[in-house]
Amino acid sequence: MVCTVSDSTVTTVAAGPCDVTAYQGGSAIYAPAQASRPIRVTVNDDRVAQRISFGPVPGVTVGVPVVLTASSGTPAYEGPDSPTRLIVSYTSQNRRVCTVSGATVVPRTGGRCVIIASQDGNDRYLPAKPVRREFPVARAPQTVSFTPPASATIDQTVILTATASSWLPVTYTSSTRDVCTVSGATVAATAAGTCIIVASQPGDAQYAPAQPMTGSFPVEKIPQTISFSPPGSATVDQPVALTATASSGLSVTYASTSTDVCTVSDSTLTPPRGAPAPLPPPSPATASTRQPTP
């Protein structure tokens, strides 16, 4: 309520626009009439003016609180303002980016933080004109820790375990797709060589992208074994078929290391003509009764 009217007397209550209507009810000759006019009510205020000093706020980082230091003073024609010692209050215009508690700003995400400083005055000082400050909020830095596996074998899968200081998920890519491929955090080794993996974290609203980390490890061939049972004996100039198998299922090749006794062609062993026949092994009985040499 700004004003009240009693008969022809207006009583002001508060500062603001007061709308007053003059009314005439008419007579036997004249119709009713009315006219409305606004009256501007002002306060006869002898309080002292004040203004806020609120300097620029430097850039801040997500998660690092900042204390604001605006102050209020009475304007001076020369020299610094005289402090009023009244407390300046702050509000955030972008609470998604930053919030305020008392004089402390808490940056929450990267972006632009907008703060309004105000002072409402008291019985001695008039309200100060609010001051606006805008400053950037940088995303927090983060790092990636990545220790690659010691080694892998073709057709073996390996789980990668890099971590980001932000605890955000780490992504992996292979720089040697001819040797290894990556799906999620699983590496599939496909060929012998050096597998090179890049671990990265792209960041989010709170954290900046991390510096990618590269790690490498050797990919070895799959080990295999050969099962080989040679024939018990052979006759001079009589070919013998050799039968050995590899655990890999690959074909086995043969070679003779005593060509004066036998030769090999493909998988066939042939003792040469005229070569002395190998001596038969001693019988178990003979071997058990043989006396040791003094």
Residue 14 lies in a domain: no
- Determine the pLDDT at residue 44: 61
Residue 236 lies in a domain: yes
Q: Does residue 178 share a domain with residue 111? A: no
Q: Residue ranges of the alpha helices (H) in the chain? A: 284-289
Q: Does residue 89 share a domain with residue 166? A: no
Q: Does residue 259 share a domain with residue 209? A: no
Place of tokens 């036997």: 28
Residue 245: CB atoms within 10 A of its CB come to 14
Residue 85 lies in a domain: yes
Render each residue's pLDDT in the chain as its tens digit; 294 residues. Answer: 778 888 888 887 767 888 888 888 778 888 888 888 888 877 667 899 999 999 999 889 999 999 999 999 998 766 678 899 999 999 999 999 999 999 999 999 999 999 999 999 998 999 999 999 999 999 999 999 999 999 999 999 999 999 999 999 999 999 999 999 999 999 999 999 999 999 999 999 999 999 999 999 999 999 999 999 988 888 888 898 999 999 999 999 999 999 888 999 887 878 876 545 454 555 444 333 333 443
Residue 82 lies in a domain: yes
Tell me if 161 sits within 8 A of 184, measured CB to CB: no
Q: Does residue 160 share a domain with residue 117? A: no
> Which CATH number does the domain housing residue 55 bear?
2.60.40.1080
Give the three-state DSSP class for 243: coil
Tell which residue, 218, 237, 226, 222, has the closest CA to residue 276: 237
Range of the domain at 245: 224-272
Q: Does residue 234 share a domain with residue 216? A: no
Residue 31 lies in a domain: no
CA 49-54-57 angle, to 5 degrees, is 170
Residue 99 lies in a domain: yes
Q: Does residue 198 share a domain with residue 261? A: no
Q: Write down which residue in 103, 138, 173 finishes a domain.
A: 138
Query: 274: part of which helix (H) or strand (E)?
Result: none
Q: Does residue 132 share a domain with residue 58? A: yes
- Determine the pLDDT at residue 252: 93
Residue count of the chain, please give it: 294
- Token output for 179: 């040797």
Q: Does residue 91 share a domain with residue 151? A: no
Q: Does residue 200 share a domain with residue 251? A: no
- Determine the pLDDT at residue 281: 55
Q: Does residue 132 share a domain with residue 55? A: yes
- Determine the pLDDT at residue 293: 40
Q: Does residue 55 share a domain with residue 125? A: yes
- Determine the pLDDT at residue 289: 35
Residue 42 lies in a domain: no
Q: Does residue 103 share a domain with residue 151? A: no
Distance CA 261, CA 274 (A): 10
CA distances from 60 to 67, 83, 109, 111, 141 (A): 11, 28, 11, 10, 12
Number of structural domains found in the chain: 3
Residue 191 lies in a domain: yes
Tell which residue, 192, 253, 181, has the closest CA to residue 222: 192
- Determine the pLDDT at residue 286: 37
